[in-house]
Amino acid sequence: MSNSYATTGARPTSRWKRFVKSNLLTFLTVVGVFGGTALGLLLKNSADPWTQREVMYIQYPGDLFLRMLKCLIVPLLVSSITSAIGSLDLSMSKKIAFRAIVYYFTTTICAVILGIILVSTIRPGAGREVSNLGGKATTRQVLTADTLLDLVRNLFPPNIIQATMFQFRTILVPPANATGVPLTQYKITSEFTEGTNVLGLVMFSVVLGTCIGKMREKGKPLLRLFETLSEAMMIITSWVIWISPIGVLFLVAAKLLEMASFLEVLGQLGWYFMTVMLGLLLHGFGTISVIFFLTTRKMAFPFIAKMSQVLATAFGTGSSSATMPITIRCLDNMGIDPRVTRFVIPVGATINMDGTALYEAVAALFIAQLRNIHLTFGHIVAVSVTATAASIGAAGIPQAGLITMVMVLDTVGLPAEDVTIIIAVDWLLDRFRTTINVMCDALGTILVNSLSKKDLSGEANGHLELAEPHELVELRPDQKE
Arithmetic mean of pLDDT over the chain: 80
CA Rg value for the chain: 24
For residue 35, how far is the Cα from the chain centroid? 23
DSSP secondary structure string for all residues of 303-338: HHHTTHHHHHHHHHH--HHHHHHHHHHHHHHTT--H
Torsion of CA 102, 103, 104, 105, to 10 degrees: 50
Task: Quote the pLDDT of residue 414.
Answer: 74
Task: Look up the pTM and report it.
Answer: 0.76
C-alpha distance from residue 378 to each of 110, 144, 462 (Å): 18, 16, 52
Task: Quote the pLDDT of residue 8.
Answer: 47
Mean pLDDT by 10 residues, the chain (481 residues): 48 71 77 87 81 89 87 87 83 85 91 91 77 50 74 89 89 77 82 84 90 89 92 87 87 80 69 92 94 93 90 86 88 90 86 83 86 78 76 56 67 71 78 91 94 76 45 40 36
What's the rounded Cα separation, in Å, for the pair 133 and 244? 32
131-186 per-position pLDDT tens digit: 554 444 445 566 767 777 887 888 899 999 999 988 888 888 888 776 777 777 78
Q: Given 3-state DSSP classes, what are the helix, strand and coil percentages for the chain, each rounded to the nearest 5?
A: 75, 5, 20
161-173 per-position pLDDT tens digit: 999 988 888 888 8
What's the rounded Cα separation, in Å, for the pair 195 and 164? 8
Could you give the domains of the chain? Answer: 17-464 (1.10.3860)
The angle formed by the CA atoms of residues 379, 381 and 385, to the nearest 5 degrees, is: 115
254-277 per-position pLDDT tens digit: 888 877 666 666 676 888 889 999
345-379 per-position pLDDT tens digit: 988 887 778 888 888 888 888 888 888 887 777 77
